[in-house]
Each structure stands twice: as structure tokens, then as C-alpha cells.
Chain A
Amino acid sequence: MKIAVCIKQVPDTSAALKVKPDGSGVDTEGLEFVISPYDEYGLEEALRTKEKLATGEVVVVALGPERVAKALRSGLAMGADRAVHLADAAFDGSDAIATARALAAALKKAGPFDLVWAGKEATDDGMSTVGAALAEFLGIPHASEVKKAELSADKTSITCWSEVEGGTAVVEVKLPAVLTAQKGLNEPRYASLKGIMMAKKKELAVYTPADLGLTAEQVGKSGSPSEVLKVEPPPKKQTNTKLIKDLEPDAAAKELVRLLREEAKVI
């Protein structure tokens, strides 16, 4: 079974962020970058499937500038067999739809694949769009926000459990399909020292739009149906914290409930 995993390199989720003074975006200067956490769940699941079947191939695919090669090497160190990097200045400024279109073209070239994993969203732009749009461009089914997946015995379909409001939805899709990974799917492994050493020797192919048969109008800003106009710091909430202390529990509870009803008026 050939499995592709689409990953995105994002700023370390624990890092504080600064917005560029001109409002053009987040200031990435000096930031640490990591694989988006949800993509790691997808990669871990792909590796486990390959290990369970004791055959097959796992390919990590990413779009983005040169620094993204590091994320792909991390994926190779975790155990992926080869990597594909969509790296070209023409890809800059691609929105979720343009990204999905380019990834679909790359998967067709590097594949075909029986199964494609992606994170349910990237932790930077939080678009939660690329996975399902990718499936559409590939013309195959998908399942979203998967927290558990079970391959059928004949390996022609996969049953997915997805978190939905107030419960879980069970969806069975025929392969090939795209699945997007939700937290809870698994606990991703750390790369071993041996894995890191081996990753250096694994194949990392670089694709340009031309390699994928895409024109300049189909990628980057011109290929994107949406654009970011401005990025600003989030509005700051002004709070005057009212401290309730040195009271017996009953008295503290009474005071809090009174304040919530009479002052805050939320109950």
C-alpha cells in the first residue's frame, strides 16, 4: 500500500508571535518551525499501517519555501521512505485552494497512492480546507477529523470515526481516499538517532509548477481565489480582575454568584 502524507511546516505552537508592523503578516524572523501537530498524527498513522502490513511505502509531501525541507527531513527521520517538496517562488502566496490544487498535481506525479493523510487543519492559518479540497482535486472520497481508522481486510476501504458535535460519526470510504487526522488518533513517535542518520540519505524530490504541468496562473497569488488583506494583533481584552479570597467556601460561593448575577449579569 502506498501512502502519502501531506505535511505543513508551521511556527512552533508554543511560541509567542509578533505581527509585522506593515500588517502584511506574522513576523517569522527568529521563529522555530515544526511539523503542524495534526499532520504528525497522520504521518504516525501511515507509518503504523505500513508496519502492520509489513509492506508498502510512505511518502511525505509539503509545499513551501526552502526551510520546509527541514520538516520533510523530520518526516523521513520518523520513518517515511521518501519526500516530495513543492518548492518554487511561484508557489508563494498560495491559499488553501491553490495549495490543494498543487498538492493534488504532486500526488499524481509521485503516486498513485492508495491512501493520503493530511492534518485536519494547520495550526498557523487554521483553514481546515486543504484535505477535503485535495480529495476533490484528486476526484476521490475523503473523511474528516478522523480519530480512529480501520482498514478493511481486503484493503479496499477504510472505516473512520470522526468527532462531530455531540458525538461520533462513522464513515466508510473506498480507497483511494484522503483522510484528515484529528488529535486522539495516536501518539506520534520521536525520531530515533538511527532514523535521523538514515533520513539524510533518503530521496527528497523537488517539484516546480512546470514539473507538475501547472501554469503560473494556477499557483501562488494568481492561482488563489482568496487573499489576506491585513494581519493585526488580536484585540486585547481589558480586565479588572476582582479577587475573591480569605472567605469560607460558602461565603465565597455566595459572593461569586451575586457578582455573576448582579454585576456581570450572565446568569
Chain B
Amino acid sequence: MGSEIWVVAEHRGGQLRRPTLEALGAARQLAGAAGAAVAAVVLGKNAGGLAAELGKHGAARVLWVDEENLDVYSSGGYTHALTELARAHKPLAIVFAASSQARDFAPRAAARLGTGLLPDCIELGWDTGSGRVSAKRFINSGKALATVQVKTSPALVTTRPKAFAPAAADGAGAETVKCDVKVDAAQCYGKVKEYEQPAATKVELTEADVVVSGGRGMKGPAEFAVLEELAQVLGAAIGASRAAVDAGWREHASQVGQTGKVVTPKLYIACGISGAIQHLVGMTNSKIIVAINKDADAPLMKLADYAVVGDLFQLVPALTQEFKRVLEK
């Protein structure tokens, strides 16, 4: 104890959320550099079942707070439980996957512990001399890259989705430690009353391996149906440019770029998006970029790995058919 790197396990419906495994991968790297052990923190009633999966992916210990009042997420309850644990066990660093939940309570935890928080990191480092955690993160919507350091302990960091490889399943299993932290109902402010899920199970944009995006060239909301069909075949999430969102064709949750989301999928297929700077900053770090556009001179056609010149309303359905053919074989 005292030389652990912690990972906060995020779970919903009894399932570990996939970005947690990426955070665990990042924590294992950091622990390797710091000569520390990795422990996972599980907050929530009956969530102890996650311990096996966390152990399999390299956590040596799982600190579990099994508390009725943590059954449903609340910023107050989670902040209280995590900071009490941190005060008692003094980890070197606490790693979260950058998610809406982490953005909600990690800042509170940092403020309460009087320590620094580095959100949305793409690389973590350990300075042996000072014993400090450093990180690289994009600023100004990706127009610059900053190296930042936490001067205090524990350092709180969140990992950008897809920036770190998920932890390998080569762990020896974890020792589960039940931690006694009392959480009163009154401490659970900011409690989620309910989750309104969309009718269809959507692939989360920032976590998707493939993103199919549409822009002004889509011409209208109904026309996104051709992208939906392609996305269905590829198991992809649907994105949109600001032009398409501001026109009211797609909801803001699907906006890629500045004032929207940053995505780094393996494959990004941009349909009818010219590629304004404000869009590019949201997708430029995708592994492979495909652009489909009538205009061969559009900025995105020059940035793409594969630029297809033509009418998207003919090309996209043809692409859907071809993917169907080869993937079903």
C-alpha cells in the first residue's frame, strides 16, 4: 500500500464499461514505470462481480465499496467514497476513463483532495526523480499538444477513449478487499434519477471502431437513412458535421469537431463533408479516413487516406452492398 496506481471501474447494468479496460491498460503502463501495483476501485452495490474481470486484466487488488447508497451513481456519493478511500490508502495516482461520469465527479474529487486533475490524456508518464505523474493532452481542440504535470499526490488523470490499448487479459486474478465507507443518502447529491436510453442500442460515438459521418452534402435529415444502413452493416456509430447539426438534421450528441466530440476510430467515413477546420480537429487522428464527396478539391478529400469522387447517394448504398457481401462470406 502507498505505492498503488488506482483505476476507477465504471460500470452500468452490472457490466464493466469498455473504456475502463483502456484506463486499466494506461494504469498498468504507469505502474510499470513507477514500480507500483495496480488496484481497481469498484463503487456500487453488488458490483463485486466485476472483480474477476478486473483481476483477469491485471488489477492486483480490487477495492470494493459495497454500499446501498452507491447503487445509483451520484456525484456526491462517488466523490465521498473515492476520496475517503484515497485518504485512507494514499495511492500515487487515480486513473479514470474520460467519460461523462468521470467529467462529473473527478473534478470534485480533485478539489476535495486538493490535488491536480489532468483530463482526456493520450499519454501518461512518470518522473522517477520527482515521483510526479505527467501526461500529454490536446488543447485548443487539437490545435496544440500540451505536456502537463501534477505536482501533488494522488495525481488524478482521465484517459481519452481509444488513446490507450485495453489491458491484456493476462492477469493472475485480484484480491478483493471490501472497504467500509459509510455513505449517507444526504451525501448523494447529483443522483441520476433515470437514464433515458434511445430506442435502438446505439454505438457510442467516441468509443466506436468505425464512424460514418454526414455533412451538408446529405441535403436533409431523411437522407441520413443511407448512412444508417451502412453503419448497421459495419457496427458503426453515426456522426455529423456542425453544418448538419445546426441545420437540425442530427442531434448535437452526434456532432464531431469543435463544440462536439473528438473521435479516433480505426475507420472514419466522411460523406458529403467538405472539412472545415472545426470538423477536422474532431476526427483528424482517426487511423484511416475515407472521404466521399462530389468535390475532389474539398479540404477533407486532401486529408483522407482514400478519397472517392462521386455522388454519395449512389456510392454509399453501393458500399453498403459490397460490405454486406464481403463481411457475410
B105 contacts A132, CB within 8 Å?
Answer: yes
Set B107, B148, B189, B315: member contacting A226, Cβ < 8 A: B148
B140 contacts A17, CB within 8 Å?
Answer: yes
With A225-B151, A226-B148 given, name 15 new contacts (CB 8 A): A129-B119, A132-B108, A136-B108, A142-B190, A169-B195, A171-B193, A183-B252, A224-B116, A231-B139, A244-B309, A249-B311, A252-B308, A256-B319, A259-B306, A264-B306
A168-B196, A244-B308, A252-B308 given; A136·B148 CB < 8 A: no
A164 contacts B308, CB within 8 Å?
Answer: no
A132 contacts B267, CB within 8 Å?
Answer: no
The 5 sampled A-B contact pairs (Cβ below 8 Å) are: A38-B259, A132-B104, A141-B190, A243-B301, A249-B314
B75 contacts A19, CB within 8 Å?
Answer: no
B177 interfacial by beta-carbon distance below 8 Å: no
Q: By DSSP majority rule, is chain B's interface helix, strand, loop, or mixed? A: mixed
CA distance A17 to B141 in the complex (A): 11
- A190-232 residues with Cβ-Cβ distance < 8 A to B are 224-232
B193 contacts A170, CB within 8 Å?
Answer: yes
Q: Which of B55-63, B219-227, B277-285 forms contacts with chain A?
A: B277-285
Q: Which residues of B contact A55 (CB under 8 A)?
A: none
A166-B198, A245-B296, A260-B267 given; A14·B278 CB < 8 A: yes
Chain B: residues with CB nearer than 8 A to chain A?
17, 75-76, 79, 99-101, 103-108, 110-112, 114-120, 134, 137-152, 189-198, 201-202, 204, 206-207, 210, 234, 251-253, 255, 258-260, 266-267, 277-278, 284-285, 287-290, 296, 301-311, 314-315, 317-319, 321-323, 326-327
Q: Taking CB as reference atom, which chain B residue is nearest A243? A: B307
Which of B117, B139, B308, B322 is the most central at the interface, judged by chain A CB atoms within 10 Å of its CB?
B139
CA distance A123 to B258 in the complex (A): 8
A235 interfacial by beta-carbon distance below 8 Å: yes
Set A13, A133, A172, A231: member contacting B110, Cβ < 8 A: A133
Which of A96, A224, A266 is the most central at the interface, judged by chain B CB atoms within 10 Å of its CB?
A266
Q: Which residues of A contact B308 (CB under 8 A)?
A: 244-245, 252, 256
Set A126, A143, A145, A235: member contacting B120, Cβ < 8 A: A126
What is the minimal beta-carbon distance from A188 to any residue of chain B, in angstroms?
12
A52 interfacial by beta-carbon distance below 8 Å: no
A226 contacts B318, CB within 8 Å?
Answer: no
A153 interfacial by beta-carbon distance below 8 Å: no
CA distance A223 to B174 in the complex (A): 38
A239 contacts B305, CB within 8 Å?
Answer: yes
A89 interfacial by beta-carbon distance below 8 Å: no
Q: Which residues of B contact A247 (CB under 8 A)?
A: 310
Set B100, B143, B306: member contacting A165, Cβ < 8 A: B100
A97-132 interface bits toward B, Cβ cutoff 8 Å, 1 = contact, 0 = none = 100110000000000000000001001111111111
Q: Which residues of A contact B311 (CB under 8 A)?
A: 249
A226 contacts B191, CB within 8 Å?
Answer: no
Q: Which residues of B contact A26 (CB under 8 A)?
A: 139-140, 143-144
Q: Which residues of A contact B152 (CB under 8 A)?
A: 225
Set B116, B258, B305, B314: member contacting A264, Cβ < 8 A: B305
A37 interfacial by beta-carbon distance below 8 Å: yes
A242 contacts B306, CB within 8 Å?
Answer: yes
Q: Which residues of A contact B76 (CB under 8 A)?
A: 141
A234 interfacial by beta-carbon distance below 8 Å: yes
What is the minimal beta-carbon distance from A189 to any residue of chain B, in angstroms?
16
B306 contacts A241, CB within 8 Å?
Answer: yes
Q: Which residues of B contact A120 (CB under 8 A)?
A: 103
Q: Which residues of B contact A133 (CB under 8 A)?
A: 107-108, 110-111, 117
A231 contacts B207, CB within 8 Å?
Answer: no
A19-B144, A136-B79, A144-B100 given; A183·B255 CB < 8 A: yes
A67 interfacial by beta-carbon distance below 8 Å: no
What is the minimal beta-carbon distance from B277 to any residue of chain A, in angstroms?
7
Q: Which residues of B contact A165 (CB under 8 A)?
A: 17, 99-100, 204, 206-207
B307 contacts A242, CB within 8 Å?
Answer: yes
CA distance A165 to B207 in the complex (A): 9
Set B151, B197, B314: member contacting A227, Cβ < 8 A: B151
A241 contacts B304, CB within 8 Å?
Answer: yes
Q: Taking CB as reference atom, which chain A residue is nearest B302? A: A241
B141 contacts A13, CB within 8 Å?
Answer: yes
CA distance A127 to B301 in the complex (A): 31
- A40-72 residues with Cβ-Cβ distance < 8 A to B are none
A253 contacts B315, CB within 8 Å?
Answer: yes
What is the minimal beta-carbon distance from B214 to any residue of chain A, in angstroms?
17
Set A145, A170, A184, A228: member contacting B196, Cβ < 8 A: A170
A96 contacts B305, CB within 8 Å?
Answer: no
